[in-house]
Structure 1
Amino acid sequence: GFTNDYADKYYAIIRAKERKSYVKNHIAIDIKTRLILNYATQRGPRSDTKFAINSIRQTKKYHPHYILAD
């Protein structure tokens, strides 16, 4: 993910402050048309379940044959 922290990684290591905050991007794409159907950006770490439920509800209107997730 992307960091939302301005501290240098080396500085964080020597000060024993592990950076745990980052930006997490979620995206749902139609692989045939390559259109973005749904997206969300959150501060991490968080569970993907909240995005998955919302994404499935939003993409239902496109009548997908199946949905794959990692």
Structure 2
Amino acid sequence: MVIWRKEMGNRFQVEVNESKKELRHRLHHSVTSSSRERLQMLYWLKQDAIALLIGLLQDINMAIGYAS
């Protein structure tokens, strides 16, 4: 189950109740590409991988001279 909460400034707080192990199991046993994409996103959110990717992209933009 995923809980979405809208915060100010078009930000969302997401709470994923399933464990990483359960999400990984569901991901490996998913049949359709749409369910696989959704489960992959939930798995990344559970691992805080999204925050890491955003941070890396901001660092790259700063290194090449783009302002965000």
Q: TM-score, normalised by structure 1?
A: 0.30
Greater percentage in strand:
1
Larger Rg: 1
Higher relative contact order (CA closer than 8 Å, sequence separation 6+): 1
Query: Is the helix fraction higher in 1 or 2?
Result: 2
Give the TM-score taking structure 2 as reference length. Answer: 0.31
